[in-house]
Structure 1
Amino acid sequence: MDLRIKIGVGVVLVFCLFGNSSVASVSAVTELDTDGDGLTDRLEETVYFTDRLVSDTDGDGYADGLEIVNGYSPR
């Protein structure tokens, strides 16, 4: 069994509109993706309820992020 922990980094884009201005500000916020599955730890804990330490929560051979992108359940 491989007990090493993979540490990755995800990038979340934040879009902000200021008042009635048509100018949008885009900033990149770096968030941790501990298991390297393409989902940030925050998304895994608050949106998808998957294991942030395991890249394939349901053990079917597909990473959680890949399952989400393709419309499948990662749990």
Structure 2
Amino acid sequence: MAFFLVYQQIENWLIYPRVMRQAVRVSGLAAILSVLVGTAIAGVFGALVAVPVYAAAQIVVRQVWLPRQDAR
């Protein structure tokens, strides 16, 4: 049981942020924080969708909002 607890902690705090950083170009800190916020808001489902939602919001800000601000 202790092995699985240690494994899960290593995966959650070291491996998962690195994979997310490479897969969706989200920083490790942002991935961890978005998962924590998603968990607080919607439980397990929130944790699962937190990083993709954050990545989508990041793309919208970069592709839509920032160019409109620059145009002003």
**TM-score w.r.t. length of structure 2:** 0.32
Which structure is higher in helix share?
A: 2
**Structure with bigger RCO (C-alpha 8 Å, 6+ apart):** 1
Which structure is higher in strand share?
A: 1
**TM-score w.r.t. length of structure 1:** 0.31
